[in-house]
Amino acid sequence: MNNLLELGYISGLFGVKGWVKIYSHTRPRIGISQYSQFYAKDSAADDSATNNSATDSGIDSGFDNDVGAGSAYQAITFTTIKTSGKNIIGHIAGVNSRESASAYVGKILLIKNSDLPKLENEYYWHELIGLQVINQQGQALGKIVEMMETGANDVMVINSDNGEEILIPYSLSHFVRCVDIKKGIMQVDWELDDNEL
């Protein structure tokens, strides 16, 4: 069983020599070019087993899935991924015509989690989603359900036990005190307002 993470998808064709346009979830968008080996699946395939996607340390939310005999995944290799104007384009090994490339349009591009660069004192978004969040007073705030990019700071979206949504800036230097991925817990410096209790 291999864990896979969605990095983007093939959004269209580019030229007549088998190049494709790629929509990238990575931050920066061209970050997808550091990979060449992908697993592709149809966008219409059953997504019920998927739960994550990528943003930079920054991979934007990805999928955990199985790859093996009888799976819906196809291994593909890009010989080149680069920018062309505002587009990110790629050339798939062995695909040399527009007609051949058209079979890949709409395919979701995934990589193995193990292919991600190891981070020191940083975390990928897909690692944070699902963590239980507690504050320094020991109060359970809820579970991280989403990460949002806002420009100044990334923001954690936390669903509390009473159904309320709590937004906390994701700042390792200000609000986040401790992250324990193995235990599934994050401690934050965040006091609850009376209406959040």
Per-residue DSSP letter, 127? H
| SS3 call for 128 | helix
Length of the chain: 197
Walk me through the domains of the chain, giving residue ranges and CATH numbers.
Answer: 4-115 (2.40.30.60), 127-196 (2.30.30.240)
Alpha helices in the chain (DSSP H): 98-101, 125-128
Find out whether the peptide bond into 117 is cis, omega within 30 degrees of 0.
Answer: no
The reported pLDDT for the residue numbered 135 is: 95
| pLDDT for residue 150 | 85
Predicted confidence at residue 44, as pLDDT, reads 55
Give the pLDDT of residue 3.
86
pLDDT at residue 121, as a whole number: 83
d(CA 91, CA 84): 12
Alpha helices by DSSP H, 68-119: 98-101
- The residues of the chain scoring below 50 in pLDDT are 1, 46-66, 69
pLDDT of residue 58: 43
